A and B are shown apart, each in its own frame.
Chain A
Amino acid sequence: MFRSLHRGVAVATIAILVAAAGACSSSGKSGSSTAPVPGVTDTEVVVGTHTPLTGPAAAGYSKISAAAKAYFDYVNANGGVNGRKITYKIMDDGYNPATTQQVVRQLVLQDKVFAILNGLGTPTHTGVLDFLNTNKVPDLFVASGSLSWNQPKKYPYTFGYNPDYTIEGKILASYLKANFAGQKVCTFGQNDDFGADGLKGVQAVLGASGVTHSETYTVTNTNVGPAIAALKQAGCQVTVSFSVPGFTALAIGTAAQLGFKTQWVVSNVGADYATLAGLLKAAAGPLLEGVISDSYLPSVDDTSNGWISLFRRLNTQYNNNAPFDGNVEYGFSVAYLFVQALKAAGKNPTRQSIVDAVEKNGYSGPGLFKLRFSKDDHSGYGGLQMGKVQGGKQTLFGPVYTTDDGSGAVTESNSSPASPPDNGIPT
């Protein structure tokens, strides 16, 4: 009796597997588009992204793609771009480079997306650069400040968005040189291009001897105690941190636990106040007070800024009224730039035409300083403003600084930021 029961279950299992195989192989074939330009039909443009929705680096970043999707929903509700609605496929890679390989291939080879937009992460995206450029897929506005995206000869289809980490390091260091002269400066960075480029930028301004001590962390190891203890040992009075939000919170919290008092200066990547407050919970108020950071987008608490009020309004209507923080603002900003580029790509966009449109530049948006896109520069935003946390709010102060990746000096810019169009859709 049991034998036939076992046999029955086994046969049923195999039957289900075979049926599922048949169903899925047929659905795979029917999904392919017959349009000459992949991802573009008369009514639709499909773009994809890879981003950490789960895992240790997901804190805050999961909101970026949701906000971008919300902006596309708004644009679609107003007729789309040249009559085409934008479909945004968001794939989770858990900040794991191996998973990024799989999902990006799925997006390009199976879902046949028009472009990859805002792929997130330095270690994750580095692995798919060759694949995307070999397949001539526009790789727009990578969500990272690594220098790897700015290689127009080697990777002509890849464009950055965030200011490069070396630029950020130089600007932070020159601010420290002017305002914290004579104090011991240390760095705490992610052990990949993010931390390494940031450190290089700091050393470019302060000199190699200007950085008393450097520590690194790995995303897979949440025990930063030894690193923070080493920084305390070195007597760091200012600590520049190139860390993602999860690890910024870990570092600040561990420092408080170890009684390590230092002036934290945090890269814009990991400095969003709302995200950090959510991680540090009750201790957020006292621990985050006075933390210095920088930003290339207006502060979310700046109620007088036209872009912030526009994005807040769209956030309420199209993003389920999610808490409005730096990540949501970032998502809206990237989506706005993509819509500008798609419009500039013409009535019948092709992969080449959108790449040309991005290189032509001339876009004005929420950024505090202009974008640096050109035929020879694929880097992204080039200017940052200093910010400080006071009374639970992140306020930006001072001028917008700008510099280059090389040995150029840090200068102040006096260009005034643009205002948003009335209906929030680029003309």
Chain B
Amino acid sequence: MTTPRRVPTLVRHLAGAAVAAVVLFGLTYVLDPFRDYQLATAAAYLCAAAGLTVLIGLNGQLSLGHGALMAVGAYSVAMVQNQFGDHGVTAQWALVASLAAGVVAATLAGAVIGLAAARLRGPYLAGLTLVVAVALPAVTTVFSGTFHGDQGLSVYLPPVPDSLGADFPVERWQAWLALAAALLTLLVLANLVRGRLGRSMRAIRDNEVAASLAGIPVARVQVVAFVVSAACAGLGGGMFAVLAQSVSPDAFTLTLSLNLLLAVVVGGSGSLAGAVWGSLLLVLLRYWADELTGGLSLPAGLRTRLAGNLPLALFGLLLIVVMMAAPGGVQGLLSRAGRWVRGRLTGRPSHRAGLPAPDAEPPAPVASHT
């Protein structure tokens, strides 16, 4: 029996979030405005990717439609903010209210889809979410009076607070907003994952029949997991609207849903740290691909063809490499590296990481097979 933890999970997570907040706060001052904007974009992706990694990795439900849920959050934020703008409300709390509205809207959409898909498993669930991803942005064209079709809506945003000074770069403020949203999402998810919901989700993922026999309400947990990930996607989408100061259906295509999936898989499915790596990679890979095509001297026609397609090609290549060499993604590699380092430092064998150390307590009498 391991020694019980002395510090409750929630307190541990809050302390971790506080430390991370301080570090990130300092980071936004060190980086120049463009990097701050990239950091903010990665944080917005993280909100959605974290929810998706919990859904896919811990609950085994594959969703290809989270881009559409981000769109629901983004458009809700845009419309509520524009209402605030029309009525002259310029306070900062209005933004929090809009983001909350975005989360609520995405939660409702997630509940509808989750309930519809409660009986679906595997490729059938993926197919349903794929349909949502493709069809939902088309709503903006059909109801172009409200949603303005392809042109989209511009988002009224309150200006940077005066208390920060006149020269405060707006990108740093955007980074603060996005990082706050991302930390909040990670905090909530980390607690959920460690609690009863997380255990139920894992149980259902590993063996649905056994979980149901053990008394876990399978359908309810599936729907709750989907709704939670939808809420996270809604927050991510809302941050997208804030960062871009506009929403349009072209920002939420099927490619976005697939990119989120890529981020989850490459970063490490099922782990929140993996979602962090995946989101960073999403932002940086496109940037590096652009730098690469910019640095080479290519004929103009080839350059324009590469400019749009190289990031996608790199992503695909990376996915193949990750699938072959490191199915646990970046986080899996890092954990393995960490265990190897620890093993070398303490002199214990590392390549069979499942075994307890020689001088640990003997295992409990209940037979368990690995």
Q: Which residues of chain A have a CB within 8 Å of any CB of chain B?
A: 3, 6-7, 9-11, 13-14, 20-21, 24, 27-29, 32, 53-55, 62, 66, 92, 94, 96-99, 101, 105-106, 109-110, 122-123, 126-127, 129-131, 134, 191-193, 218-221
Are A127 and B326 within 8 A (Cβ)?
no
A66 to B300, CA, bound (A): 9
Identity of the chain B residue whose Cβ is nearest the Cβ of A109 in the assembled complex: B34
Are B152 and A123 within 8 A (Cβ)?
yes
Are B308 and A10 within 8 A (Cβ)?
no
Given contacts A97-B151, A105-B34, A127-B152, contact A21 B308 (CB under 8 A): no
Are A131 and B245 within 8 A (Cβ)?
yes
Which residues does chain B contribute within 8 Å of A9, judged by CB atoms? 321, 324-326
**Among all A-B residue pairs, the 10 with the closest Cβ atoms:** A98-B251, A109-B34, A9-B325, A127-B246, A192-B151, A123-B151, A53-B304, A110-B34, A10-B326, A96-B250
Task: Give the residues from 138 to 174 in chain B that come closer than 8 angstroms, CB to CB, to chain A.
Answer: 141, 144, 148-152, 154, 170-171
A62 to B300, CA, bound (A): 10
B37: Cβ under 8 A from any A Cβ = yes
Given contacts A54-B304, A62-B304, A127-B245, contact A24 B152 (CB under 8 A): no
A285 to B49, CA, bound (A): 53
Which residues does chain A contribute within 8 Å of B245, judged by CB atoms? 101, 127, 130-131
Given contacts A54-B307, A106-B34, A109-B171, contact A14 B333 (CB under 8 A): yes
Interface bits B29-57 vs A (CB < 8 Å: 1, else 0): 00011110100000000000000000000
Identity of the chain A residue whose Cβ is nearest the Cβ of B340 in the assembled complex: A7
Given contacts A10-B333, A24-B291, A27-B291, contact A97 B248 (CB under 8 A): yes
A6 to B152, CA, bound (A): 46
Task: Give the residues from 337 to 357 in chain B that come closer than 8 angstroms, CB to CB, to chain A.
Answer: 351
Are B291 and A126 within 8 A (Cβ)?
no
Q: How far is the CB of B31 from chain A (nearest CB, A)?
A: 9
Identity of the chain B residue whose Cβ is nearest the Cβ of A55 in the assembled complex: B308
Are B325 and A13 within 8 A (Cβ)?
yes
Are A98 and B250 within 8 A (Cβ)?
yes
Are B150 and A219 within 8 A (Cβ)?
yes
Q: Tell me the dominant secondary structure on chain B's binding face.
A: helix
Instruction: Tell which of B141, B151, B324 touches A122, judged by Cβ atoms closer than 8 Å.
Output: B151
Are B251 and A97 within 8 A (Cβ)?
yes
Which residues does chain A contribute within 8 Å of B330, judged by CB atoms? 14
Are A97 and B308 within 8 A (Cβ)?
no
Which residues does chain A contribute within 8 Å of B188, judged by CB atoms? none
Which residues does chain B contribute within 8 Å of A130, judged by CB atoms? 154, 245
A130 to B245, CA, bound (A): 8
A131 to B33, CA, bound (A): 13
Are A123 and B248 within 8 A (Cβ)?
yes
Q: How far is the CB of B40 from chain A (nearest CB, A)?
A: 11
A82 to B158, CA, bound (A): 41
Are A220 and B150 within 8 A (Cβ)?
yes
Which residues does chain A contribute within 8 Å of B35, judged by CB atoms? 28
Given contacts A9-B324, A28-B35, A53-B307, contact A218 B284 (CB under 8 A): no
Given contacts A130-B245, A134-B170, A191-B149, contact A218 B141 (CB under 8 A): yes
Identity of the chain A residue whose Cβ is nearest the Cβ of B284 in the assembled complex: A21
Are B171 and A218 within 8 A (Cβ)?
no
Given contacts A9-B321, A109-B34, A131-B245, contact A92 B149 (CB under 8 A): no
B287: Cβ under 8 A from any A Cβ = yes
A127 to B305, CA, bound (A): 24
Are B141 and A97 within 8 A (Cβ)?
no
Interface bits B310-330 vs A (CB < 8 Å: 1, else 0): 000000001001101110001
B288: Cβ under 8 A from any A Cβ = yes
Q: How far is the CB of A427 from chain B (nearest CB, A)?
A: 31
16 residue pairs from A and B, CB less than 8 Å apart: A3-B351, A6-B326, A9-B321, A13-B318, A24-B288, A24-B291, A27-B291, A29-B32, A96-B250, A101-B245, A101-B246, A109-B33, A110-B34, A191-B144, A192-B148, A192-B150
Which residues does chain A contribute within 8 Å of B304, judged by CB atoms? 53-54, 62, 92
Q: How far is the CB of A241 from chain B (nearest CB, A)?
A: 17
Given contacts A10-B333, A110-B34, contact A191 B305 (CB under 8 A): no
Are A193 and B34 within 8 A (Cβ)?
no
Are B151 and A193 within 8 A (Cβ)?
yes
Which residues does chain A contribute within 8 Å of B290, judged by CB atoms? 106
Which residues does chain B contribute within 8 Å of A218, judged by CB atoms? 141, 149-150
Are B305 and A126 within 8 A (Cβ)?
no
B244: Cβ under 8 A from any A Cβ = yes
Are B154 and A126 within 8 A (Cβ)?
yes
A275 to B119, CA, bound (A): 52
Residue from B35, B250, B325 having most chain A Cβ neighbours under 10 A: B250
A129 to B151, CA, bound (A): 13
Q: How far is the CB of B366 from chain A (nearest CB, A)?
A: 31
Q: How far is the CB of B216 from chain A (nearest CB, A)?
A: 35
Which residues does chain B contribute within 8 Å of A92, judged by CB atoms? 304, 307-308
Residue from B32, B307, B330 having most chain A Cβ neighbours under 10 A: B307
